[in-house]
Amino acid sequence: MTAIRVGRTGGTGARSKGLVLTAMIFAVAMTFIDQTIVAVAAPTIQHDLGISSSGMQWAINAYLLALAALFAFGGRMADTVGHRRMVVVGVVIFAGPRRCAG
């Protein structure tokens, strides 16, 4: 009878799972923060663009549609090039411009 090894030895798997969980919590928190920023900025955006309330709803829906499409694309890229690499790329792409903006 042959033995099948499952998981890692030495407890490194638990540490890795903790890091993945921390990274995912950070990524989801950034998404919530970004959505909150859009909601707070909506009146200013509406005034600056000179659009009606329904136009603002269209603009927010377009933003959310693009965000959802990029989530799907990012998930596929993570399957292709690696999850850890894509999380790092996503954080840099998300946080970099926001850091520069102040």
Amino acid (one-letter) located at 76:
R
**pLDDT tens digits for range 5-63:** 555 555 567 777 888 788 778 878 877 888 888 889 999 999 999 999 999 999 888 98
Helices (H), the chain: 12-49, 53-81, 83-101
Angle at 97 between CA 94 and CA 102, to 5 degrees: 120
Question: How many degrees, rounded to 5, is the angle at CA 71 between CA 85 and CA 26?
Answer: 60
DSSP single-letter state for residue 102? -
Nearest in space to 45 (alpha carbons), one of 31, 33, 57: 57
Q: What is the pTM of this model?
A: 0.57
